[in-house]
Each structure stands twice: as C-alpha cells, then as structure tokens.
C-alpha cells in the first residue's frame, strides 16, 4: 500500500445471533477454561470447596497412596524370576487376591487392565461361552449403559441391539425376553447401578433370563463397587468390570473378573503372556497395588459408609425439594445411597454447574460436554424424558468424607441459584 493511501474500509460484520445453542457452547467452553485455570490455584483454596462429584472420580485413599509409594520403590519386573522381580510379583498377586476377595471370585479370574473402559471393551468379545455352551454371537445392552459399552466392543454394529428401560430407569425385562428369543446366543450387558441416576438394576433377574436362553451376562459394576454389597454369586454374572478410581484407588487401573468356567476371551493386546495371556504388557504395579489397597479399605468401610452417606443424601434431597417442582430422577426405585440426579422447571444444567462451581461446590450435569456442545443425557432420553428436561439435569454424588456441613453449604448455594435459574423462582418454605 502506498504512503498516504487510505486503507480499505473494514467490512462490517454481521452480528452473531444469541441462541440457546450458542449459550451452551459458551458455557461448555467456560467449564473447560475454568477447569484449566483453577488447577493452578493454591491448595488452601481447595480446602474451602465442597466436592460432590464422587461418581466421576474419588479422592485417593491413604491406604492406596501408601501401597503405591511402596510399589514405586521396587525396580523389578513382575515377569522376572530374580528376587527383585518376585517382590514385584508378590505385590501384583496380593492386589489380585484383594480384588478377587472383594467380588467373590478366584484370583486367577481377575484380569488387570488400564481402567473401566478397557475392561468393558475386553468383556464385549464375540465367541465367549461356558464350557458346555454355544459361543455368543450378538450383543444386547441396556439403553442406559456407559459409552464404553454402547460402543459395542468387538461386536459388529449389526450384531448389537438395545434393551429398553422403564420410566424409572430400570431395565425392561419384558423387552429383554423376546430379544433373546429372536436369534442365536447373546452376551447381555447391564450395569449394576447407573452412573447418572444411581438406579440399581435387577441383575440377578436378568441373569436368570439370560442363562435360560443360553446366553452370558456382563455386569458393569464400576459405579456400584464400594457403594453397595455384591459379588459374583449374588449377581450371577459371567463377567464383571471394575475401576480403581471409583473406590479411592488411582486412575489408570481396572479389572475384568470372569466367573469360573467362562471361556473364549481373546486379548486385545497381544505379545507377552501377562495376565495369563489375556492382556499383554508389563503390569502397572503401582496402580494395581493402589487398586488392591483401595478395594480392601472400601470393603471394610462399606456398610458404615453407605448408611452414613444415605442419611446425608436424603437430607440433601429434602432440602432440594423445598424448591417447587424439583424432580429427582429414579427416586421410586432402589438407588445408590450417594446419588441424586435432579432438575427443576426452566433450569439449564450447564448454567447450574457453573453457578455451583462459582459458589465453591463441585457437581456435574446429566449432559456430556463434548466438542464444545452440550449433549442431552442419553440415559434420561432412554427413560422417556424430553431433551429440555434432560438438559436441565444436575448430579450430586457424595462420598465417604462428605459432611453435614458440605450438605448445608450445597443447599445454601442451591437456594441462591434457584432464585435465578428456576422458573417460578420462589421456594416452598413450608
């Protein structure tokens, strides 16, 4: 451009219309930015916050931390035969025994993996069978399963089908029966408890129906583990998946547990013969040691923790219901003792989550923040709720260190939010 010449006039930009989708994108990105920026905050500020997102992940138990610290001191590979290797092997097998004891299985039937997602993916294997049975050729899964199950594992898409659930979020056994009858033997995948609503599924009833039809049952127990008592015998499951970080263990460790007599499991990762040939690669000794220690601690405290947390959860629900027309999902069926999924007229979950966060309360929504856009909860949609309802769902999940003060602070934050977020605004104080 020559000196003195005028720059071309800037093209006037069209105003961006403010839509609900745009607000969702902005809010969703805000959550990501806030998460990234608050990570550098001083530890002292975290002490003033209330953590009510235990279904997402849990704090690391002191027992797990100590076990991991001991494992980090070891230098041996657990596959080596020398003394250093044998020490590492002992830690590995001690953890295997602890997890096996927690779910009532044989130690040799516990396969350690990188987490719940890998465990679910490995469980969903065509060709699984009982010793005298036919191999499974298709996959039936409830419509409210975790995304790692809905992905279908190694089954072809055309070999999968969804099982309906009731309005209360419980599997519809009357829909399962004809699905099983209409085709070859199937692997049925049903979670023990839903991660959003907390609804506990009748897995023993499902098992009876599935086994009568010549199929196998996979139970995703990741969310239920450490919160309610169960074992292989009570669930009658053929495969069970678990995750360490849901019970106070480290992230990056999980397990697939097989019932005695289940055959046909093929490893994803091949190479070494680790985990009896079911998962190649040197084991994550520190993570697995933490998993075993967390399993021991969780089982020892389960009964007392569940009773105490249930009381706090009920108190929290009572406080939420003082706002007119608050809806608690799955409140008419058996639920995990720590979980509340609720909504109120006109409420947007992403806005509520931000509001709680700014008030010092960590909660989550029933929607997934993905690719900059908030998606409705597939769980609530499967239960028959409209998208505008599911997009307003907020989950509060408690844990072993939750206190009465935490509940009081959460309700105080909610009362402030309800005045601005909820249509009708005014609370029922009767």
> Angle CA(124)–CA(128)–CA(130) in degrees, nearest 5?
135
From 282, 297, 312, the end of a domain falls on: 297
Report yes or no on 5 lying in a domain: no
**41 and 76 share one domain:** no
Which CATH number is 84's domain given? 3.40.640.10
Query: CATH code at 367?
Result: 3.90.1150.10
Residue 7 lies in a domain: no
Considering the domain architecture, whether residues 276 and 351 belong to the same structural domain is answered as no
β strands within 168-263, DSSP E: 186-191, 216-220, 239-243, 254-258, 262-263
Q: Which of 256, 272, 297 is the last residue of a domain?
A: 297
Q: Are residues 241 and 181 in the same domain?
A: yes
194 and 239 inside one domain: yes
Annotated catalytic residue within 165, 309, 369, 421 = 369
Indicate whether 80 and 228 sit together in one domain. yes
Q: What is the pLDDT along the chain (430 residues), one digit of tens a residue?
A: 444 444 444 444 333 343 444 445 445 555 444 443 343 343 335 668 999 999 999 999 999 999 999 999 999 999 999 999 999 999 999 999 999 999 999 999 999 999 999 999 999 999 999 988 999 999 999 999 999 999 999 999 999 999 999 999 999 999 999 999 999 999 999 999 999 999 999 999 999 999 999 999 999 999 999 999 999 999 999 999 999 999 999 999 999 999 999 999 999 889 888 999 999 999 999 999 999 999 999 999 999 999 999 999 999 999 999 999 999 999 999 999 999 999 999 999 999 999 999 999 999 996 555 445 567 899 999 999 999 899 999 999 999 999 999 999 999 999 999 988 886 544 443 3
Q: How many whole angstroms separate alpha carbon 144 and alpha carbon 157? A: 17
Cα 298 to Cα 37, 286, 397: the distances in Å are: 32, 18, 17
Looking at residue 105, the DSSP 8-state letter turns out to be -
Total residues belonging to the chain: 430
One domain, residues 128 and 171: yes
Q: Within a domain: residue 15?
A: no
Q: Give the tokens for residue 196.
A: 């959003």
Closest by Cα among 229, 43, 55 to 146? 55
Model pTM above 0.85: yes
State whether residue 254 is helix, strand or coil.
Answer: strand
Given a contact cutoff of 8 angstroms between Cβ atoms, the answer to whether 138 and 161 are in contact is yes
- For residues 253 and 279, membership in a common domain is answered with yes
Same-domain check for residues 28 and 122: no
Domain of residue 386: give its range.
Answer: 20-59+302-421
Using CA atoms, how far residue 283 sits from 83, 103, 273, 288, 333, in Å, is 17, 21, 11, 8, 40
- Helix 62-72 vs helix 83-103: crossing angle, to nearest 10: 160
Residue 398 belongs to some domain of the structure: yes
Q: Are residues 113 and 182 in the same domain?
A: yes
Tell me: do 114 and 245 sit in the same domain. Answer: yes
28 has catalytic annotation: no
Domain tally, the chain: 2
- Give the C-alpha separation, 98 to 279, whole Å: 19
On whether both 315 and 227 belong to a single domain, the answer is: no
Last residue of a domain, one of 255, 273, 297: 297
For residue 426, tell me if it sits in a domain: no
Going by C-alpha positions, the residue among 85, 99, 90, 79 that lies closest to residue 298 is: 99
Instruction: Tell whether 396 and 307 lie within a shared domain.
Output: yes
- C-alpha–C-alpha distance, residues 231 and 237, integer Å: 9
Q: Return the beta strands (E) in 165-205 as ranges.
A: 186-191
């Amino acid at each position: 451009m020559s000196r003195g010449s005028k720059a071309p006039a800037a093209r006037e930009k069209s105003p961006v219309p403010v839509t609900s989708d745009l607000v969702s994108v902005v809010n969703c990105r805000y959550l990501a930015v806030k998460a990234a920026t608050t990570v550098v905050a001083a530890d002292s500020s975290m002490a003033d916050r209330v953590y009510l997102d235990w279904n997402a992940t849990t704090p690391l138990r002191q027992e797990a931390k100590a076990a991991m610290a001991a494992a980090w001191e070891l230098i041996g590979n657990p596959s080596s035969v020398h003394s250093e290797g044998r020490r590492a092997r002992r830690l590995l097998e001690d953890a295997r025994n602890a997890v096996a004891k927690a779910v009532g299985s044989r130690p040799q039937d516990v396969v350690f993996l990188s987490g719940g997602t890998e465990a679910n993916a490995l469980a969903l294997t065509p060709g699984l069978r009982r010793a005298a049975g036919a191999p499974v050729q298709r996959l039936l899964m409830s419509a409210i399963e975790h995304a790692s199950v809905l992905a279908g594992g190694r089954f072809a898409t055309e070999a999968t089908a969804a099982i309906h659930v009731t309005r209360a979020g419980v599997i519809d056994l009357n829909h399962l029966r004809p699905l099983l009858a209409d085709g070859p033997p199937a692997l049925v995948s049903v979670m023990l408890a839903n991660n959003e609503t907390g609804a506990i599924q009748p897995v023993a009833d499902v098992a009876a129906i599935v086994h009568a039809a010549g199929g196998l049952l996979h139970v995703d127990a990741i969310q239920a583990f450490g919160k309610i008592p169960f074992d292989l015998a009570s669930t009658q499951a053929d495969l069970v998946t678990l995750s360490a970080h849901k019970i106070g263990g480290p992230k990056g460790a999980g397990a697939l547990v097989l019932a005695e007599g289940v055959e046909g499991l093929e490893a994803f990762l091949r190479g070494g013969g680790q985990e009896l040939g079911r998962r190649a690669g040197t084991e994550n000794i520190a993570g697995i040691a933490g998993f075993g220690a967390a399993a021991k601690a969780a089982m020892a405290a389960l009964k007392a923790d569940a009773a105490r947390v249930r009381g706090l959860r009920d108190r929290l629900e009572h406080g939420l219901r003082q706002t007119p027309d608050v809806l608690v999902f799955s409140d008419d069926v058996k639920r995990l003792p720590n979980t509340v999924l609720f909504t109120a007229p006109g409420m947007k979950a992403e806005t509520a989550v931000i509001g709680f966060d700014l008030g010092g309360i960590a909660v989550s929504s029933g929607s997934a923040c993905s690719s900059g856009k908030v998606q409705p909860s597939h769980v609530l949609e499967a239960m028959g709720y409209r998208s505008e309802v599911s997009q307003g769902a907020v989950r509060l999940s408690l844990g072993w260190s939750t206190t009465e003060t935490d509940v009081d602070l959460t309700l105080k934050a909610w009362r402030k939010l309800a005045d601005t977020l909820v249509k009708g605004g005014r609370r029922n104080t009767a």
